[in-house]
Structure 1
Amino acid sequence: MAACAGGPGSWSENILDYFLRNNQITTEDGAEIIWYHAANHKSQMQEALKSAAHMIEADVLLPSDGSEHGQPIMAHPPETNSDNTLQEWLAEVVKSNKGIKLDFKSLAAARASMPLLDIVKQRLQCSVWMNADILPGPNGSSKVVDANAFLDTVTSFFPDVTFSLGWTTGWHPEKVNEGYSWTMVKEMDHVCSGLTQPVTFPVRAALVRQSCSQLLWLLKRSNRYSLTVWTGKNDSYPTEDLLYIRDYFNKTQVFYDILEPQSHEFRQAIGI
């Protein structure tokens, strides 16, 4: 397996540029990037490393005993335990040529993780995204991660990183689900307008079609901005929504971290 290659600052390199330069994709199109979602446990991590995925997404939290001195582990709530620590996860991932997106579930998890990432920084020269949900969003009920503290924590170690900054969201099968409001996108722009790093906004696939005007406005605020469309495990939405999103936005500004069967149907429909 080829290890990451690149120079200083490549953590902020656009992933399309990175994977094009390494001949892993053929065109400047966010839909070409293949994702492996929630590569948390050791078995999922190994599967992700062997897969065709370009980007591996995983979740970082502190163990359920609540100790701030505990080792960060790889798990997605409601799980609070794992057979994989962040340290073990990084030791395997640095041997690959995959980009990574780390989703921090709390400020404490982010603070505990930065020194571990710092140790492997020279060996981790692929694209690295740091994610947290920093603002309340449509139907969101989870606790947000304090935006300024998260940004300060990450940039104090890694000033050249790609941020993935999202909203807490929910989706309910029995009711009309409203999308991202003007207030939500303007608040996000306010948080991000002073940043110099690339920022991608993770948006929930089932909520994007009804928010296209707001999200397009947000993308137009800076050429450093992009969207990453993701799906909840039990969300229901038609593949047509993904095709609508693809037609509405610039293909270089939208990535698709989506689950099956939509991922296969979507890629087939657009000829990738």
Structure 2
Amino acid sequence: SMACASAPASRVLENILAYFLRNNQIATEDGAEITWYHAANHKAQMQEALRSAAHMIEADVLLPSDGSEHGQPIMAHPPETNSDNSLQEWLAEVTKSSKGIKLDFKSLAAVKASVVPLKHVKELLQRPVWINADVLPGPNGSSKVVDGKLFIDTVTSSFPEVTLSLGWTTGWHPEKVNEGYSWTMVKEMDYICSGLNQPVTFPVRAALVRQSCSQLLWLLKKSNRYSLTIWTGKDDNYSTEDLLYIRDHFSKKQVFYDILEPQNHEFKQAIGIKVNL
């Protein structure tokens, strides 16, 4: 009977790959099969994302700068500060689909203001839910970090079953040698995460991964709940070869690729995964 008692928790903690396999939306346990729709913030983008073949819909949650609407969170990516879509409206639409969701937060205040709207749809969140923030300074990072401990506590106390997406702030400079993720950076991250029971994914910038392979391999070996999400800056220089290098060195179950075109297409083609456009 103990097994029965714990069954719901394991169902809720269903891995993202298990979820999309069970729904027949991917063919194998391979993070490269998962597709992403970015910045589905305004109503038009959100509707396009819902019609698309993407498995995961990513959006950005802000508090309006003018303090309007009693501080209700809205969907916008800085430098924008206004939107035709609130988090509440966004969730109402997206939870009608079977798509997974990833919400990106730039401040602790926005996270705290989002707990109530998320709780309203809690029973509809039987799907991958990733909650993202940059919690540590990383290579060339200059933007403000969100306090990692407070972020994790705020999210997990209300939603113990989500996947935490914990990143480093980064910068990338085309004209000079870019340092990768250092030993200090990965050790700090492991220190923050070692006591957690949730799945944790670390968003890492594609152009900085190859020079940090030892560090990132070390980090992923610390727990089978850890994964990487490879992302790309709009003007970053990196090659499909860099992505294939990552592909060869890491477990397929532990790396997701949230990358821009045309590399996304080239990469998927090179590894034999069909791209539904």
Indicate the TM-score class for this superposition, using the shorter chain for normalisation.
over 0.9
Correspondences of 1:195-214 after superposition (within 5 Å)? 195-214=196-215
Q: Name whichever of 61-70 and 20-29 sits farther off.
A: 61-70
Report the Cα offset of residue 171 of structure 1: 1.1
Report the Cα offset of residue 71 of structure 1: 1.1
Which one scores higher on RCO, CA 8 angstroms, separation ≥ 6? 1
Correspondences of 1:142-221 after superposition (within 5 Å)? 142-221=143-222
The residue type equivalent to 1:124 in the other structure is L
Report the Cα offset of residue 156 of structure 1: 1.6
In structure 1, how many angstroms separate the alpha carbons of the residues matched to 2:68 and 2:176? 39
Report the Cα offset of residue 65 of structure 1: 2.0
- State the SS of the aligned residue for 2:156: helix
TM-score by structure 1 length?
A: 0.95
After superposition, the C-alpha distances for 1:104-132 in whole angstroms (9 at most, x for unaligned) are: 11000000001100000111211101111
The residue type equivalent to 1:202 in the other structure is P
After superposition, the C-alpha distances for 1:79-114 in whole angstroms (9 at most, x for unaligned) are: 121111111110110010100111111000000001
- State the SS of the aligned residue for 1:133: strand
Correspondences of 1:13-162 after superposition (within 5 Å)? 13-66=14-67, 69-162=70-163
Correspondences of 1:193-272 after superposition (within 5 Å)? 193-272=194-273
After superposition, the C-alpha distances for 1:197-249 in whole angstroms (9 at most, x for unaligned) are: 11000111111111111000000001110000011122221111101110010
In structure 1, how many angstroms separate the alpha carbons of the residues matched to 2:69 and 2:163? 25
In structure 2, how many angstroms separate the alpha carbons of the residues matched to 1:256 and 1:33? 8
Q: Which runs of 4+ in 1 moved over 6 A?
A: none
Distance 1:124 1:14, change over 3 A: same
Unaligned runs of 5+ in 1: 1-6
In structure 2, how many angstroms separate the alpha carbons of the residues matched to 1:73 and 1:177? 34
In structure 2, how many angstroms separate the alpha carbons of the residues matched to 1:40 and 1:11? 26
Kept in 2: contact 1:10–1:126 (CA 8 A)? no
In structure 1, how many angstroms separate the alpha carbons of the residues matched to 2:104 and 2:29? 25
TM-score by structure 2 length?
A: 0.93
Distance 1:211 1:160, change over 3 A: same
In structure 2, how many angstroms separate the alpha carbons of the residues matched to 1:93 and 1:64? 25
- State the SS of the aligned residue for 1:165: strand
The residue type equivalent to 1:40 in the other structure is N
The residue type equivalent to 1:118 in the other structure is K
Kept in 2: contact 1:68–1:108 (CA 8 A)? no
In structure 2, how many angstroms separate the alpha carbons of the residues matched to 1:196 and 1:220? 16
In structure 2, how many angstroms separate the alpha carbons of the residues matched to 1:87 and 1:128? 15
Unaligned runs of 5+ in 2: 1-7
Report the Cα offset of residue 162 of structure 1: 0.9
Root-mean-square deviation over aligned CA pairs: 1.4
Kept in 2: contact 1:8–1:125 (CA 8 A)? no
Kept in 2: contact 1:101–1:128 (CA 8 A)? yes
- State the SS of the aligned residue for 2:209: helix
The residue type equivalent to 1:23 in the other structure is N
Alignment length, in residue pairs?
266
- State the SS of the aligned residue for 1:84: coil
Q: Equivalent residue for 1:3?
A: none
Percentage identity across paired residues of the two chains: 82
In structure 2, how many angstroms separate the alpha carbons of the residues matched to 1:74 and 1:153? 20
